Amino acid sequence: MAEWWSVEVFHGEFRASQWQQSYSQSLIESAISHGAADWSWTEHPHGVVFEVCFADDAQWEAFRNLPAVRAALDAVPDPVNGLLVYRGRGGGAGATRPRRPRPSVGAGALELPEPADDKILDLTGVSPASATGPGLSSAGVASAGGASRDAAPGRAARLSPTA
């Protein structure tokens, strides 16, 4: 199975695009002569990326150990922090499929309870005869002797209509 390899070069004492202009032809020629199936250059604001595809790791190692390739990698603009060599496509290759949205980390991640059904009082089935109770007449009105002004502590006082 073919594997992509990336050589990422960052700007340093001079722009990485100048390094690309100087070494592009020798890198491409070396890659093709040692079995590269595909190659590409990508320019980014931070530098350039040379991506090359080989059928197996042995071809990559043979390419990597060539004197022309070693000389090109030794001549990058920033020899200390300006060179990355790694397996896979690099730079802005992006993901092979779109990212799925991640759950929120803050309070938005807390699942809220479902709203409770509102309790609705159905008065269509109630008749005035069943609305009688202590202190109520059959019409649902407080009777005269049902309550007094003085109520026990903690209980609401009911006022009679005659008091």
**pLDDT at res. 84:** 86
Q: Taking the CB of residue 89, how many other CB atoms lie within 10 A of it? A: 17
**pLDDT at res. 12:** 87
For 3-87, give the CATH class.
Answer: alpha beta
**pLDDT at res. 148:** 47
3-state helix, strand, coil in the chain (%, to 5): 25, 20, 55
Residue spans per domain, the chain = 3-87
**pLDDT at res. 146:** 47
Rounded to an integer, what distance in angstroms lies between the CA atom of residue 82 and that of residue 89? Answer: 17
pTM of the model as a whole: 0.54
pLDDT string in tens for the chain (163-residue length): 678 888 899 988 889 889 999 998 999 999 998 888 888 898 888 899 999 998 888 888 999 899 999 999 898 988 888 888 888 887 555 555 556 666 666 666 667 778 888 777 777 777 766 555 555 555 555 555 544 455 455 555 455 555 4
**What one-character DSSP code corresponds to residue 54?**
E
Instruction: Say if residues 69 and 27 touch (Cβ distance below 8 Å).
Output: yes
Nearest to 50 by CA among 95, 81, 16: 16
